[in-house]
Amino acid sequence: MHSEHFRKFGLLPVLLILSIVQSYGQQRSNNYEKYIHKYKSVAIEQQKKYKIPASITLAQGLLESGAGTGRLAQEANNHFGIKCHEWSGKKIFHNDDALNECFRKYSDAHDSYEDHSLFLVGRDRYASLFRLSSTDYKNWAKGLQRCGYATDRAYANKLIKIIEDYELYQYDNVKFVRPSSDKSFPAWYKPHNVYVSNGLLYIIANQYDTFDLISNELGFSTRKLRKYNEIPKSYPLTKGDVVYLESKNSKVPKDADRFHTVDVGESMHTISQLHGIKVKNLYKMNNKKEDYIPQEGDILRLR
């Protein structure tokens, strides 16, 4: 009797913890969605003016400001954690890498977004980023980390995860080209070669490719192709992306490399595409939860 009572009672803290974790995750998601709804038009405006991907601007704002809940955002309208440097405007002091550091203070959030753009445009260290397409969020994220925007070795991967989790790439003004009803193709369209790796058939995406065009060419349904590649409906293909023509493996074959060392800008999805493994299996093999963000230098099991 006492033993049973203890088991029932002991279960309560576990359930309580799980409930708190779930509630926190839901609250975080709600905060992110509210932030995106509020500032997406500002990010799009900045892209039109300065050619910085709207998805990158939004992801940085979400990450740096805690979706607008952080002290700098609340008290100083500073959504990007930009420090004073040569700043002559209002200031706020905040503990960051060191105690009582000086940060810029703005009259409203729009000024913070504008200054963030000018901060990137006006520094030579970021010049290489502006040679990238304003829809190439992956290389923008990698470039920001490599140019020293943040000291966090997982910074690029965090940005990419936010962009893909919340489908922020849809704000980068990507123009999808859809085939006509008679399945004709645009003049620029190039037929694909089919390759085999890890026992799987795949193609390499060309510039301006869409799943509709590839489906029409190869005789697949668009829904199946997206399912094979674990990709949501509005996800834009990038030149060089691997597109599998069949369901991915649960692990790599025995003759393939057993481990993967994470590089800058990689997500669990891009790693799964590289090795032809289902995303859920990659998490499971490495005992990682869904909120895990791979960091440069991490080593992941592939089987």
Cα–Cα distance for residue pair 75/112, rounded to 1 Å: 12
Q: Which of 148-162, 188-202, 245-259 has the weakest average pLDDT?
A: 188-202
Average pLDDT, the chain: 85
Query: 249, 291 in Cβ contact below 8 A?
Result: no
Q: Does residue 144 surpass a pLDDT of 80?
A: yes
In this structure, are residues 279 and 268 in contact, taking their beta carbons and an 8 Å threshold? yes
Per-residue confidence (pLDDT) for residue 15, from 0 to 100: 56
* Res 173: pLDDT: 67
C-alpha 150, offset from chain centre: 16
Q: Are 285 and 301 in contact (CB under 8 A)?
A: yes
**pLDDT grade, residue 201 (50/70/90)?**
confident
pLDDT on residue 175 = 43
pLDDT at 182 over 50: no
Cα separation, 231 vs 191, in Å, equals: 22
Per-residue pLDDT tens for 238-270? 899 999 988 899 999 888 899 999 999 999 999
* pTM reported for the whole predicted model: 0.64
Asked whether the predicted pLDDT for residue 2 surpasses 50, the reply is no
| DSSP conformation letters of the chain | -HHHHHHHHHHHHHHHHHHHHHHHHHHHHHHHHHHHHHHHHHHHHHHHHH---HHHHHHHHHHHHTTTTSHHHHHH--SS--B-TT--S-EEEE-SSSTTEEEE--SSHHHHHHHHHHHHHT-GGGGGGGGS-TT-HHHHHHHHHHTTS-S-TTHHHHHHHHHHHTTGGGGS--------TT----TT--PPPPEEETTEEEEEPPTT--HHHHHHHHT--HHHHHHHTT--TTPPP-TT-EEESSPPBSS--TTS-SEEE--TT--HHHHHHHHTB-HHHHHHHTT--TT----TT-EEE--
Distance CA 272, CA 288 (A): 14
Per residue in 113-124, pLDDT tens? 999 999 999 899
pLDDT digits (tens, 9 = 90+) for 47-78: 888 899 999 999 999 999 999 999 999 999 99
> Taking residues 181-202, what's their average pLDDT?
74
Query: Hey, CA dihedral for 274, 280, 285, 291, is it positive or negative?
Result: positive
**pLDDT higher at 14 or 8:** 14
CA angle 42, 45, 50 (to 5 degrees): 120
Short-list 201, 27, 52, CA closest to 127: 52
C-alpha 145, offset from chain centre: 14
Of residues 199 and 127, more confidently modeled? 127
The pLDDT value given to residue 207: 86
Can you tell me the distance from the alpha carbon of 73 to that of 194, in angstroms, rounded to the nearest whole number?
49
Cα 275 to the center of its chain, rounded Å: 19
pLDDT tens digit sequence for 274-297:
999 999 999 999 999 988 999 999
β-partners of residue 101 are: 94
Confidence of residue 85 (pLDDT cuts 50, 70, 90): confident
Between CA 175 and CA 121 the distance in angstroms is 25
